[in-house]
Structure 1
Amino acid sequence: MPRNILITGTSTGLGIALAVQAAQAGFKVYATMRDLTRRAALDTALESAGVAAEVLQLDVRDTASIQTAVDHIIAADGHIDVLLNNAGAGYVRTTEQAPEDEVTWVMDVNFHGVARCVKAVMPHMRQARAGHIVTISSVGGLVGQPFNEFYCAAKFAVEGYMESMASYITPSFGINFTVVEPGGIATEFANNVMKQIGETGGLIEDEYLPILQSYIGSREGRDEGVFQTADEVAEVTLNAILSDTPPLRTRTSEWSENLCRLKTDLDPTGLKLRDKVSAEFLS
């Protein structure tokens, strides 16, 4: 029986690449998305690759929809081997500019959504004494970046959440945890940022505007090697899932590794710290 994998956020970009590559690697793929009317791109990619996936509705902000998807998989297979938390959203605003409801939304999608999905699968993985929970984080989960304070705060929260669980759940129940930390993904970064800004009130004429314009310009003008394709990030992610010793954290490119090096040099995979924390607090 093939291992199965539940992937969130598969209607676009990286989510599509993850679903395709997981299917190519032999997984039974449950590809989920909030809005099933947006599944056409996924269906096309799967067909082009000659692979299949079962597509389910799942909104990471809706506990009931998460439970429905998990219950469906358990009824069909009796187990969930891998949860791949991919759903997320960027957000570019300063602390002074950001309305409280938007800050709540960013944290809900990027952090609470992950926790909801983990909570839903954890009883089944714990009973099986096996499983792998993988979350697409970001270099922004290790290194704060201009205008991304709320996005980075959510990703920092995700990293602390995953690291904390790994310190006692892995040694106790055999469930592995991995956070994947890409840099930029080549999906027209500036256009996506401008779309998000436009949907949340547009550019604000204040003292931050020239700094924001400089930030956007610097991202657009980055040399080759900074931005990766979705396929490249998906490949690193699948390699971590298929590893006999999955890393707690992994960067996806030389650029992202170099950006984080001051924080990661002594323990690039995070496994040394995981084991040290387990020994310090549980022995």
Structure 2
Amino acid sequence: MKRNILITGASTGVGFESAILFARNNYKVYASMRNLNKGLELKKKIAAQSLDIELIELDVTKPESIRKAIQHIIDNDSKIDLLLNNAGAGFAKTTEQASEEEIRWVSDVNYHGVVFCTQAVLPFMRQQKSGQIINITSVGGLVGQPFNELYCAAKFAVEGYTEALASYVTDAFGIKLTCVEPGGIATEFMKSAVEKTTVKGQLASGEYLPVFERYFAGNQKRASESKEQVYQTGEEVANIVFDVAQNPTPPLRLRTSKWAEDFCKLKTNSDPDGTLLVKQITDSFL
């Protein structure tokens, strides 16, 4: 039987490219998205290349939607081999400007969704004594950045959650975990992030405006540089995800570019892939 994979946020970007790549490499792919109407481009790829991809509805902010999707996979295949927690959304706005609704939304999409999807697959992976969970985080999960504090907090949470979970489920149940940490990705993610920085049509207001203008100008400058320096394509990151999935002993964390590696090096130099830290945690507590 083929290995299977559930991918969240598969309508665009890394999720879209990962669905195609895994299917081309003999995986049964369950490509999930909140709105199946956004799957038209993926359907075209499936038809053109005869890919073994099934589109399923899954809203990472709704636990019942997650459980329903997981049960569908189990009913079809009686197992789940790999979960790619890819769904997420950028957000750049000051804490003062963000509404209570926005603050909850950032955490729901970028952190709680990862936890609820992981919670849903763990019983099946634990019973089969194997499985892999790959979480798409960000350099923002290691290094806080201006005007991104709410987004970074959610990604920091995913990093801590993954690190803690890996300290006991890998050895006990054979479930491998990895955080894949891109820098910038030149996909719809970036467009969405920019759209969500506006407050009544303005990028910022009041005393924050001069600081935000410097921040936004820096982002634009980086965007104009070569992609090798900062921004990667969804396909480039998907290739790294696939390599992690084929690795029998995958790292706990992995930056996806030289720029990302350099950006985080003050925090990662002593233990670049997180392996030493997980061993220390396991030795200390177990």
- TM exceeding 0.5: yes
1:56 — aligned with what? 56
CA distance in 1, matches of 2:168, 2:189: 37
Mapping for residues 115-130 of structure 1, pairs under 5 Å = 115-130=115-130
With the length of structure 2 as denominator, give the TM-score of the two structures. 0.94
Query: 5+ unaligned residues in a row in structure 2: which ranges?
Result: none
With the length of structure 1 as denominator, give the TM-score of the two structures. 0.95
Task: State the one-letter code of the partner of 1:176.
Answer: K
Q: Deviations over 1:75-126 (max 9, x none)?
A: 1111000010001111111111111211011001111111110010000000
Contact kept, 8 Å, 1:16 with 1:45, in 2: the verdict is no
1:268 — aligned with what? 272
Contact kept, 8 Å, 1:190 with 1:220, in 2: the verdict is no
Corresponding residue SS for 1:177: strand
1:207 — aligned with what? 207
CA distance in 2, matches of 1:250, 1:47: 33
CA distance in 1, matches of 2:183, 2:241: 13
Give the direction of change, closer, same or farther, for the CA distance of 1:236–1:213 in structure 2 (3 Å limit): same
1:166 — aligned with what? 166
1:110 — aligned with what? 110
Runs of 4+ in 1 over 3 A off after TM superposition: 45-50, 188-194
Give the direction of change, closer, same or farther, for the CA distance of 1:165–1:74 in structure 2 (3 Å limit): same
Aligned residue-pair number:
281
The answer to whether structure 1 residue 42 and structure 2 residue 42 are counterparts is yes
The answer to whether structure 1 residue 24 and structure 2 residue 24 are counterparts is yes
Could you tell me how far 1:50 is from its partner in structure 2? 4.7
Task: State the one-letter code of the partner of 1:280.
Answer: S
Task: State the one-letter code of the partner of 2:44.
Answer: T
Task: State the one-letter code of the partner of 1:87.
Answer: A
Q: Deviations over 1:179-214 (max 9, x none)?
A: 00000001277643332234x533232121122122
Query: 5+ unaligned residues in a row in structure 1: which ranges?
Result: none
RMSD between aligned alpha carbons? 1.5
2:243 — aligned with what? 239
1:148 — aligned with what? 148
Corresponding residue SS for 1:221: helix
Task: State the one-letter code of the partner of 2:174.
Answer: G
| Percent identity of paired positions between Structure 1 and Structure 2 | 51
Could you tell me how far 1:276 is from its partner in structure 2? 1.3
1:33 — aligned with what? 33
